Amino acid sequence: MRKGASKLLLVLTVCLFGCTRGGVSQQAAETVSEAAPDPTQRVRPPCVAGQFYPSSADELRGMVRGYIEAAHAPELSGDLFAVMAPHAGYIYSGPVAGYSYAALKGKQVKTVILIGPSHRGMPLSGAALSSFDAWETPLGAVPVNQEVNRRLLAASSRFKLQDAAHAEEHSLEVQVPFLQSVLAGFSIVPIVFADAGRANVTAIAEAVASIADDTTIVIASTDLSHYPEQKAASEVDHAILGAICTMDADRIETVDREQLARGIPNLHCTACGLGPVVACIEAAKKLGASRGAVLHYANSAEVEPRTADRCVGYGAVAFTGVRRMPDTPPAAVSEGELDQSQQAYLLKLARDTIARYLADGSRLETATKDEAMQRERAVFVTLTKGGQLRGCIGQIMARYPLAEAVRNAAISAATEDPRFRPVTVGELASLHIEISVLSPMQPIDDYQDVVVGRHGVLVTRGMRSGVFLPQVAPEQGWDRDEMLRNLCAHKAGLPPDAYKDPETELYVFTAQVFGEPHGEGRATE
């Protein structure tokens, strides 16, 4: 038997059911650090080395590298913003985690935000950060990015430096040796929390997104279903993985409730780290992620058949898209942009207009003393339902005063989009409304001048034309060429590469895009 394997088998139950309350507090006696930490620093020692994973550096390195090398994940398009990885004992979840971390190979990552659940059952409000200078594993010490910690503490009062929450918690520690095997010169920001309520999750996600840059990766730590028999575990796991890949928090919560309501024997949860997963997704969406992809799935019974009647599931997921340009600070409202009160007025006008028109076919009056509402602007109104497009119509050239343009576009989006049946009165409460106020069109001579995430594009040639709003490409995860090919082929009815033809005319524009908040229809990012 390999060195360390006997110790792993002695704690098989703890490793398999990595989310059991009570956890493991014994530190492995034979833990050896390859890179001795600075004696002046405070270093968190590993608490599950020799139990969840080998305490021998050589054995651990070989095991992790083997998992990563064996992973054959699909090639991902777009920017990688986040991954989901399991956190049970390596002999069970390690092969799945290998897929999560294989996706990071070759990436220029400097800061890793680790978000996981707290299994200790201790009082924990908000989210706990670590005040240690470094976290140690048998492969060496990894620095904790205290500068990012300070920024998170300043961004939200929900964050606290709380080392007790990390002291015996395994969900983040088990991720670190994988990181050490695929990255170099990086730091970590460990975050654990127990409150999966929407307010807490949203606050954590917004703070994380506010401090992230293009060298940051977010990792959500979670296992999937806990303790049903194998067939039921697979059903539950694939249902929740499908919901996670939609990146729709409402959908994830709905599927979670539906699966738990099925009355499946011994099903304790669909994912022990569901809150961290949603926080990770919401942060990634704010940075530009638009799609999730399952990289691999397995459950404990595939490794140890004796667990078939009491199974745990494991999934690896990647979240990708096109990185968004930094938002303009809220206080810097430039000339021609609408402030928050004006945005709120137009969103209410759009919703009230649709409600009135569906009720009796009449149109609301748009009289207002606000000069911004009286300027002619081009607008689009977009309706979504459950994260899916339900209608989108507008004008690319300014012809009406802004308020009137929004009113007209709202009615058209609800009742005249030829791709959809008209909206019904019963649907209105479930719709989310987004308004795009366009800048004037500007012709360009070179398609390479198009900036994804900033520019909307109008393509025209002969009698054919098509337009994409600025938010379309980031939402679909397209780069510039993908966006232009889809615009030509699917919107304008032109050959996919027509945008490269000198006879094709291209125009770009920007847009101020704003939508209803959570609780008013469905908010989209």
Give CA–CA dist 106/285, Å, rounded.
22
Q: Is the pLDDT of residue 140 over 80?
A: yes
Confidence of residue 120 (pLDDT cuts 50, 70, 90): confident
Question: Per residue in 477-488, pLDDT tens?
Answer: 898 999 999 999
Element (H, E) at 153: helix 146-155
Q: Is the pLDDT of residue 502 over 80?
A: yes
Which of 62, 58, 54 lies closest to 28 in space, CA to CA?
54
Q: Is the pLDDT of residue 68 over 80?
A: yes
Confidence of residue 311 (pLDDT cuts 50, 70, 90): very high
Give CA–CA dist 19/37, Å, rounded.
30
Decide: helix, strand or coil at residue 292. Answer: strand
Q: Is the pLDDT of residue 138 over 60?
A: yes
In DSSP notation, 157-225 reads TTEEE-THHHHT--TTGGGHHHHHHH-SS-EEEEEEE----HHHHHHHHHHHHHH--TTEEEEEE----
Which of 12, 4, 9 lies closest to 28 in space, CA to CA?
4
Within 10 angstroms of residue 324's Cβ, the number of other Cβ atoms is: 20
Q: Say if strands 376-385 and 400-401 run parallel, antiparallel, or are unpaired.
A: antiparallel
- Phi, psi angle pair for 495, to nearest 5°: -60, 145
Highest mean pLDDT among 115-129, 130-144, 474-488, 503-517: 130-144
Question: Per residue in 273-286, pLDDT tens?
Answer: 999 999 999 999 99
CA quadruple 394, 400, 404, 408: dihedral sign: negative
> CA–CA distance from 222 to each of 93, 269, 319 (Å)?
10, 11, 15
Quick one: average pLDDT of 76-80? 86
Within 10 angstroms of residue 3's Cβ, the number of other Cβ atoms is: 12
Decide: helix, strand or coil at residue 132. Answer: coil
| Percent with pLDDT over 90 in the chain | 68
Query: For residue 76, what pLDDT is reported?
Result: 83
Is 383 or 6 the better-scoring residue by pLDDT?
383
Domains of the chain are 5-18+38-321 (3.40.830.10), 327-436 (3.30.700.20), 440-509 (3.30.1490.150)
Q: Is the pLDDT of residue 28 over 70?
A: no
Cβ distance 484 to 447 under 8 Å?
yes
Query: For residue 44, what pLDDT is reported?
Result: 96
What does the radius of gyration of the chain's CA atoms come to, in whole angstroms? 25
3-state SS of 436-494 is EEECCCEEECCHHHCCCCCCEEEEEECCEEEEECCCHHHHHCCCHHHHHHHHHHHHCCC
Cβ distance 84 to 178 under 8 Å?
no
Is 31 or 95 the better-scoring residue by pLDDT?
95
Cβ distance 160 to 129 under 8 Å?
yes
Half-sphere exposure of 457 (CA within 13 A, CB side): 30
Question: Per residue in 429-457, pLDDT tens?
Answer: 999 999 999 988 889 989 999 988 889 99
Q: Say if strands 400-401 and 216-221 run parallel, antiparallel, or are unpaired.
A: unpaired
In DSSP notation, 27-86 reads PPTT---SSPPPTTS-EEPPSSBTTTB-SSHHHHHHHHHHHHHH--PPPPPSEEEEEEE-
Which of 137, 138, 79 lies closest to 109 in space, CA to CA?
79
Decide: helix, strand or coil at residue 402. Answer: helix
Give CA–CA dist 22/199, Å, rounded.
27
Question: Per residue in 164-188, pLDDT tens?
Answer: 999 999 999 999 999 999 999 999 9
Element (H, E) at 135: strand 134-137
Quick one: average pLDDT of 289-300? 94
In DSSP notation, 321-348 reads E-PPPPPPPTT---TT---HHHHHHHHH
For the full predicted model, state whether its pTM sits above 0.85: no
Element (H, E) at 298: strand 289-299
Confidence of residue 346 (pLDDT cuts 50, 70, 90): very high
- Phi, psi angle pair for 44, to nearest 5°: -75, 120
Q: Is the pLDDT of residue 411 over 60?
A: yes
Quick one: average pLDDT of 301-317? 95
Give CA–CA dist 169/138, Å, rounded.
17
Confidence of residue 7 (pLDDT cuts 50, 70, 90): very low
Query: For residue 374, what pLDDT is reported?
Result: 87
Helices (H), 212-339: 230-246, 249-260, 274-287
Give CA–CA dist 284/305, Å, rounded.
36
Give CA–CA dist 116/274, Å, rounded.
9
| Residue at token pair 């004006």 | 342
Cβ distance 301 to 307 under 8 Å?
yes
Which of 192, 221, 206, 205 lies closest to 124 in space, CA to CA?
192
Give CA–CA dist 206/200, Å, rounded.
10
> CA–CA distance from 498 to each of 40, 344, 389, 477, 501 (Å)?
63, 39, 26, 21, 5
* Listed range (394-408, 429-443, 511-525) with the worst mean pLDDT: 511-525
